[in-house]
Structure 1
Amino acid sequence: MHVRGIRRKAKDELDALKAEIGEDEVSRGEKELDALTRQHVEAIDDALKRKEAELLEV
């Protein structure tokens, strides 16, 4: 899934910034990244369920 690939890249970028911004900021960023990832995965799942239901109606 592309969303998880994007999450992995963003996490790698956060890890690379650890020396510059500190572990607390990286941890905060990871929590926000996880929340955003979860939100988008849920939105995609909901859209998929609606589309499946729409296709089954026909």
Structure 2
Amino acid sequence: MVAATVADHVEPHRGDPVKFWDGRLQSLCKPCHDRDKQREENGGRPIVAISCDGWPVGS
């Protein structure tokens, strides 16, 4: 488990100051934000973590 160190915008603000300041935030660790979240926002497919029992984590 890694401590969350980044406040991430749930909906990308794309430079909109209202969304930047008033949008919903979620806590993420820096590696997840920099790798996974940025990949999703740039048109890539989300990365789904799979647990040792073969089921997606967080489902």
TM-score grouping bracket, smaller chain normalisation = under 0.3
Larger radius of gyration: 1
Higher helix fraction: Structure 1 or Structure 2?
1
- TM-score, scaled to structure 1: 0.26
Higher strand fraction: Structure 1 or Structure 2?
2
Higher RCO, 1 or 2 (CA under 8 Å, sep at least 6)? 1
